[in-house]
Chains A and B, each alone.
Chain A
Amino acid sequence: MQRSADDRLFRLMTGAFAALVLVIVIGIGYELWAQSVLSIQKFGWSFWTGRTWDPVAGDFGALPFIWGTIYSSLLALILSTPIALGIAIFISELSPRSLRQPLGYLTELLAAIPSIVYGLWGIFVLVPIVRKAEILLPDPLRKLPLFSGAPLGVGMGAAGLILAIMVVPYTSSVAREILKNVPVAQREAAYALGSTRWEAIKVAIGYGKTGIIGAIMLGLGRALGETMAVTMVIGNAPQVSLSLYAPQYTMAAVIANEFTEAAEELYLHALIEIGLLLFVITIVVNILSRLLIWSTRRRAPNVVAVPPVVEEEEAAA
């Protein structure tokens, strides 16, 4: 009798702390909504399509920031994915065993560098390099909308570049795990049919395809929320532009820069509404990514080989 009362107390008390985590997440959503209500009421859906961000006039449209966030994150994905996959393939398939751990550790080191340090390096080292590259770009290319504008160094190009560097370790470490979990039998089957090494690697990638997409989405989630490094190199100008040269703005960056200057409530609420959108987008992306990664882990490769008892145990675990 005593024990079960204690059991119940234990469950309740520890459960309270666990519930706290749940409450926090719900609380964040609620708080963001409650603190942006003025802006939601005043602008409605036009908030997301409006291009003007005019704190003085009290006119707020968040399109430039959405554009900037999506553009910079897409750039980051395009640049980082091949490199991250290349690293994952190299470490898990090609490198000598002795190099695996050190290489893995070095890649993870990239993830350990704080955002502000990336930003500092970005301002003083990357931006001048980008500026030089922008100046050196041949004139005929400069006429394209992709490369139009004054070579300032700061801009979408620098932001995409620095985000790509920051995202690489996340995508590559998950991709490595996925590749590691591809059964050896798959590669053996490929080799036995006379595949070259690369062809066998392609078979492994095909097997882990879903998880690798999940890894890429994880990188996307990281890029969407990145604040400091981006705001230090992107130029912070709320404009919608295709040009890599043009200074632009992201959702996270505008919140970081203007939050403490928002004197009126409406201004603050507008910024927080942007935060709300960021919250929702990153949750969706992260959930999707986890689902994709999780689904590869659960795939039973050979129906015959897995005895039903083991599967039941796994399901219960």
Chain B
Amino acid sequence: MSVTIDMERMAPPLEESAAKISVRNFDFYYGDAKVLHGISLEIPDRQVTALIGPSGCGKSTFIRSINRMNDIIPEARATGSIIIDGRDIYGPGTDVVALRRRVGMVFQKSNPFPKSIYDNVAYGLRIGGMRRKRDLDAVVEKSLVRAALWDEVKDRLHASAFALSGGQQQRLCIARALAVDPEIVLMDEPASALDPIATTKIEELIWELKSNYTIVIVTHNMQQAARVSDRTAFFMLGRLVESGDTRNIFMNPQEKMTEDYVTGRFG
């Protein structure tokens, strides 16, 4: 199932880039306060890119800029570009609603709707216009399978989402995000509210998902970043200090600040 994207509504294509997401000189302001300074970063396709850094360093703000979730905050302002598949999503004429179908998001605290498990996963499909039960059933099942939740809920699809445990609810939110067939999945500290076993399940899931999706994950847990990601970007005070192959960042960082952070000297 693919979603029709209103091509005329996206910004005209810029120069080609090998990366799935290409961030060019991106600044972000809350009112007068500048919280992101000149971020430039390449995020490759079908890999997991982790964003790490001490709290308050801007990594959450940054990841929320990729699907323009910050738009709902009144005094938010951005300059620079974020180019996805050759089109700048901050360019004029961008259809934000369509963007958010291509770029899914999973939040730190799972936030299922007060509906059944089935209706949660089907939500994105229904607002997209899918009506036939047969089609909905198929996609709901596929998404729950992909989120490694199907076996646990297949007999109670119409039970309330709140009946699930915290870890299950988070996987439900992942299934819900996957249902609309995004190309990119953003995860803002997806396991921070979960116990270790649930966390492991999520990390395994991320590993499986990357063959089909580009994943960007914010995490304050460096071990998690090291386990799960292919590339890592280190943020500090709203600036991108260093980015590169995860192994290099952790074992052979170029910047001293990076080295201090990954060795636990601060943060």
* Interface hit among A11-19, A223-231, A297-305: A297-305
A213 and B55 CA atoms in complex are apart in Å by 41
The residues of A that contact B193 with a CB separation of less than 8 Å are: 304-305
Picked from A191, A303, A305, the residue with its CB within 8 Å of the CB of B69 is: A191
Task: Compute how far the CA of A66 lies from the CA of B227 in the bound complex, rounded to whole angstroms.
Answer: 71
Task: Specify which of A190, A193, A305 is in contact with B109 (CB 8 Å cutoff).
Answer: A305
A7 at the binding interface (Cβ < 8 Å): no
User: Which residues on the A side are within 8 Å of B100 (C-beta)?
Assistant: 191-194
Does B89 lie at the interface of the complex (its beta carbon under 8 Å from any beta carbon of A)? no
B237 CB to closest chain A CB, in angstroms?
25
Interface residues of A in 101-126 (CB under 8 A from B): none
Given contacts A188-B69, A189-B173, A302-B166, contact A194 B180 (CB under 8 A): yes
Given A207-B114, A302-B166, verify A194-B101 contact (CB < 8 Å).
Answer: yes
A125 to B169, CA, bound (A): 57
Q: Is B251 an interface residue (CB 8 A)?
A: no
Known contacts A303-B166, A304-B194; is-contact A194 B124 (Cβ 8 Å)? yes
| B218 vs chain A, min Cβ distance (A) | 14
**Counting CB contacts under 8 A, is A203 at the interface?**
yes
- Residues of A within 8 Å of B, CB-based: how many? 24
| Residue pair A304, B166 in contact (C-beta under 8 Å) | yes
CB-based contact B127/A193 at 8 Å: yes
Query: Which chain A positions have C-beta within 8 A of B169?
Result: 302-304
**Are B127 and A186 in contact, with the CB atoms below 8 A?**
no
Question: How many angstroms between the C-alpha atoms of A301 and B112 in the bound complex?
Answer: 9
- Bound Cα distance from A193 to B110, whole angstroms: 14
**Shortest Cβ gap from B18 to chain A (Å):** 27
Out of B104, B110, B180, name the residue touching A302 (CB < 8 Å): B110
A195 near B: Cβ within 8 Å?
yes
B78 within 8 A of A: no
Residues of B within 8 A of A186 (CB): 111, 113
The answer for the CA separation of A203 and B4 in the assembled complex, in Å, is: 23
A130 CB, nearest partner CB in chain B, Å: 42
**B130 CB, min distance to chain A CBs, angstroms:** 13
Cross-chain contact A193 with B177 (CB below 8 angstroms): yes
| B107 close to A191 (CB less than 8 A) | no
Known contacts: A191-B100, A194-B128, A304-B194. The answer to whether A185 contacts B109 by CB under 8 A is yes
Q: Given A192-B100, A193-B100, does the pair A207, B113 have CB atoms closer than 8 Å?
A: yes
Which residues of chain A come closer than 8 Å to B111, judged between CB atoms? Answer: 183, 185-186, 188-189, 301-302
Closest to B68 in A: A191
Whether B107 contacts A185 by the Cβ 8 Å rule is yes
Q: Quick check: A303 and B180 within 8 Å, CB to CB? A: no
Compute how far the CA of A302 lies from the CA of B193 in the bound complex, rounded to whole angstroms.
11
Contact with A along B67-101 (1 / 0, CB 8 A): 10100101000000000000000000000011111
B131 within 8 A of A: no
A-B pair number, CB within 8 angstroms: 80
B165 touches A304 (CB 8 A): yes
B74 touches A192 (CB 8 A): no
Pair A203/B113 contact, Cβ less than 8 Å: yes
CB distance from A206 to the nearest CB of B (A): 7
Question: With an 8 A cutoff between CB atoms, is B158 at the interface?
Answer: no
Least CB separation from B195: chain A residue = A304
Q: Which residue of A lies closest to B163 (CB)?
A: A303
Cα distance, A35 to B230, chains bound together (Å): 83
Q: Mark A186-218, 1 if CB is under 8 A from B, else 0.
A: 111111111110010001001100000000000
Find the residue from B69, B111, B115, B162 having the highest chain A CB count within 10 A.
B111
Asked if A97 is an interface residue, CB under 8 A from chain B, the answer is: yes
Task: Give every chain B residue within 8 A of A183 (Cβ-Cβ).
Answer: 111
| Chain A residues near B69 (CB-CB < 8 A) | 188, 191-192
- For the complex, give the distance between the alpha carbons of A190 and B176 in Å: 10
Q: With A and B bound together, what is the CA distance between A191 and B99 in angstroms?
A: 11
CB contact list, A162-196 vs B, under 8 A? 183, 185-196
Mark out the residues of chain B between 105 and 141 whose CB falls within 8 Å of any chain A CB in the assembled complex.
105, 107, 109-115, 123-124, 127-128
Q: Which of A188, A189, A199, A301 has the most CB of B within 10 A?
A: A189
- The answer to whether A193 touches B123, judged by C-beta atoms less than 8 angstroms apart, is yes
- Do the beta carbons of B97 and A196 come within 8 Å of each other? yes
A207 and B204 CA atoms in complex are apart in Å by 32
**Which residue in A185, A192, A193, A303 is a CB contact (below 8 Å) of B162?**
A303
Are A194 and B107 in contact (CB-based, < 8 A)?
no
Smallest CB-CB separation from B111: which chain A residue? Answer: A185
List of B residues within 8 angstroms of A189 by Cβ = 107, 111-113, 173, 176
Write the A299-314 contact mask toward B (1 if CB under 8 angstroms, else 0). Answer: 1011111000000000
Other 8 A-B pairs with CB < 8 A, given A189-B113, A195-B97, A302-B111: A185-B107, A185-B109, A187-B72, A192-B104, A193-B101, A194-B100, A194-B127, A305-B166
A-B contact pairs, 17 of them (CB 8 A): A185-B111, A186-B113, A188-B72, A188-B107, A189-B113, A190-B123, A191-B100, A193-B104, A193-B123, A193-B176, A193-B180, A194-B99, A194-B100, A194-B128, A194-B180, A302-B109, A303-B162
Closest 5 CB pairs of A and B: A304-B166, A185-B111, A194-B101, A192-B105, A193-B124
